[in-house]
């Protein structure tokens, strides 16, 4: 009986073919579950929203002849590209503020200050107890602003006065410019009260020594306050006007501190020792205003930059929220999972959990 001999090469061939067949089977099984990777969409570059620059407000405080320091502050601010958009003034601050709001530049203000004759704005009436009537001041201001009412000045302006009958703060933003300034500057005991309509008005420093809130009312986002008020430093004030001004400052000091706290920057020219009725030191007062404003510039720039950054961040968040609200809503779909390894994902949908 013949015995068939085994072919020794057959097991070797099987060993070679098995890995190839297994690889082919795996490739065939996985072939239906592969698809080309879709390119990921590139998010469009969205430009930053346009944010309006902060509106700068200038709040000029009262202080009689020390008010010349306001001119130095304005000079230095404008020289460094910081032009206020609105201006509010109390007493002496309302005088400088009204002329500035009328369109005068700082150098014109300084020329007016140097050429000012004190007698032109002081009309004493003997039969009223020696009080200053204030009509001369009213006429002077109206002549300088071209007899324009407040609402027709080139810059939004407010003059702050005190209603004598009630003690209420009154902010004049319309009407006779000179009359509003006269009311704001009518120091009690020195000037006669000003009658406007059915009320009488006296110096705004009684209720608002530095009119920060009035500048806010004009729309200012960033308020620079200039404080030239007298402080009770232990020294005896000079003359009747000095006594009255210091008395008003003492009465309104606590109230003034609260309002000054609402300013973004407070500039204090070193004019504490200047007499309230001393017009001879006007040039020195202007210089002190320049020096104080120059020293405050780094802080002003830093605070303005911080405010701009906050507004830009808020605008970005608002734009993102608006874009999200306007985006099309995609239908829900279930993603491919291990329980469905060869299924196809639905495209253009919002994945949800199984």
CA torsion sign for 240, 119, 126, 141 is negative
CA 100 – CA 106 distance, rounded (Å): 8
Element (H, E) at 141: helix 135-144
Catalytic residues: 91, 203
Among 230, 306, 312, 307, residue whose Cα is nearest residue 273: 230
CA 304 – CA 145 distance, rounded (Å): 31
Contact present, 95 and 141 (Cβ < 8 Å)? yes
Q: What angle do CA 4, 6, 9 make, to 5 degrees?
A: 150
CB neighbour list of residue 160: distance below 8 Å, 6 or more residues apart = 88, 89, 90, 94, 169, 170, 171, 172, 184, 204, 207, 208, 211, 214
Helix pair 282-326, 106-115: axis angle to 10 deg: 150
Count CB-CB contacts under 10 A for residue 129: 9
Give long-range contacts, CB 8 A cutoff, 24+ apart: 249-256: 249/205, 249/209, 251/206, 252/205, 252/206, 252/207, 252/208, 252/209, 253/209, 253/229, 255/207, 255/208, 255/209, 256/61, 256/208, 256/209, 256/210, 256/227, 256/229
**Tokens at residue 97, please?**
């503020």
Residue with tokens 């001393």: 278
Contact present, 204 and 213 (Cβ < 8 Å)? no
């Amino acid at each position: 009986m013949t015995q068939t001999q085994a072919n020794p090469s057959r097991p070797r061939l099987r060993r070679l073919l098995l890995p190839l067949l297994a690889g082919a089977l795996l490739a065939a099984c996985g072939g239906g579950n592969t698809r080309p990777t879709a390119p990921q969409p590139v998010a469009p570059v969205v430009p930053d929203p346009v944010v309006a620059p902060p509106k700068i407000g200038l709040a000029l405080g009262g202080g009689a002849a020390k008010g010349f320091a306001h001119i130095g502050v304005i000079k230095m601010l404008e020289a460094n590209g910081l032009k206020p958009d609105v201006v509010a003034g109390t007493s002496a601050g309302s005088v400088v503020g009204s002329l500035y709001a009328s369109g005068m530049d700082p150098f014109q203000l300084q020329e007016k200050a140097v050429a000012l004759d004190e007698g032109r704005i002081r009309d004493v009436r003997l039969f009223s107890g020696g009080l200053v009537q204030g009509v001369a001041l009213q006429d002077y201001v109206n002549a300088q602003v071209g007899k324009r009412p407040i609402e027709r000045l080139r810059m939004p302006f407010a003059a702050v006065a005190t209603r004598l009958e009630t003690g209420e703060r009154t902010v004049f933003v319309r009407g006779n410019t000179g009359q509003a300034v006269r009311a704001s500057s009518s120091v009690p005991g020195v000037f006669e009260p000003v009658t406007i309509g059915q009320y009488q008005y006296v110096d705004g420093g009684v209720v608002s020594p530095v009119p920060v809130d009035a500048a806010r009312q004009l729309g200012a986002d960033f308020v620079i306050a200039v404080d030239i008020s007298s402080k009770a430093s232990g020294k005896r004030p000079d003359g009747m006007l000095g006594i009255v001004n210091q008395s008003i400052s003492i009465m309104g000091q606590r109230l003034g501190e609260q309002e000054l706290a609402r300013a973004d920057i407070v500039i204090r020219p070193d004019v504490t020792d200047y007499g309230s009725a001393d017009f001879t030191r006007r040039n020195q007062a202007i210089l002190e205003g320049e020096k104080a404003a120059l020293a405050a510039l780094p802080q002003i720039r830093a605070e303005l930059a911080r405010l701009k950054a906050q507004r830009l961040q808020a605008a970005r968040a608002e734009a993102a929220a608006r874009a999200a609200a306007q985006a099309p809503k995609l239908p829900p779909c279930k993603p491919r999972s291990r329980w469905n390894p060869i299924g196809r994902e639905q495209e253009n949908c919002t994945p949800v959990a199984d």
